[in-house]
Structure 1
């Protein structure tokens, strides 16, 4: 199912801390993956689903594969905006497109795609995404596709 809708874009805000930077004073490359993970988790939370509650229902989301492209560095104290847009919704997986922007000057810093699988917590075997989650993701799957324009407009 290809994603599409007209909802407001989702963006998680976070700040770059000293622990996020490397010896050169810039965000260490792997930390962008952490920022994007947090945005996916916050997206779930915004939809009314906490990871802890899902685990109690024998459901986990695990990253099957990822790809990232780095455009510019983030530095200590930068405020970041991280999108988490569902671009593909399948029976037991989701594909997210994510972008990390510096809020102050609307510079695109990093972008990536993540295939996230739905699995049973007790066995790590694939399981269907429950209907309530499917509906929630289908309703917001296009949200964020205009995030770049919103950021550049200063919204």
Structure 2
């Protein structure tokens, strides 16, 4: 399943040249991931109150083209891999159907002591990789 999340580039997102500041792409993909797990029924506040939080463990990204003020962007998120405590997603930011930023993000669930814990079963069963391993 591909999750889609719409973004509008605001003036505050840009640098002096009117181009989206590089760190804001990380904000865009974070919002998209949060929206995706929310749509799956994951109540992150309840998880946090239960002592479990999502933490980004690894992030690899490529900047392919620039976005500018008032562009309409779409962030597509797909599950790449799921294990007991780890979730890897691929995310692509598109402008008019063209990829302008890609990222592979690995997140883990951690407890209050900072140790990895298993993903909640009700969430793990919904996280099916888009392209199964061959």
TM norm structure 2 = 0.92
Question: Deviations along 1:31-58, whole A, 9 cap, x unmatched?
Answer: 1011001100000011111321221222
Match of 1:27 among 20, 31, 47: 20
Moved over 3 A (4+): none
Match of 2:90 among 82, 94, 97: 97
Partner of 2:97: 106
Deviation at 1:130, TM superposition (A): 1.5
Deviation at 1:86, TM superposition (A): 1.0
* Unaligned stretches of 5+ residues in structure 1: 1-6, 146-155
TM norm structure 1 = 0.80
Matched positions, count: 131
RMSD of aligned residue pairs (Cα, Å): 1.2
* Unaligned stretches of 5+ residues in structure 2: none
Deviation at 1:21, TM superposition (A): 0.5
Partner of 2:107: 116
The whole-number CA distance in structure 2 between the counterparts of 1:65 and 1:124 is: 16
Greater share of strand residues, 1 or 2?
2
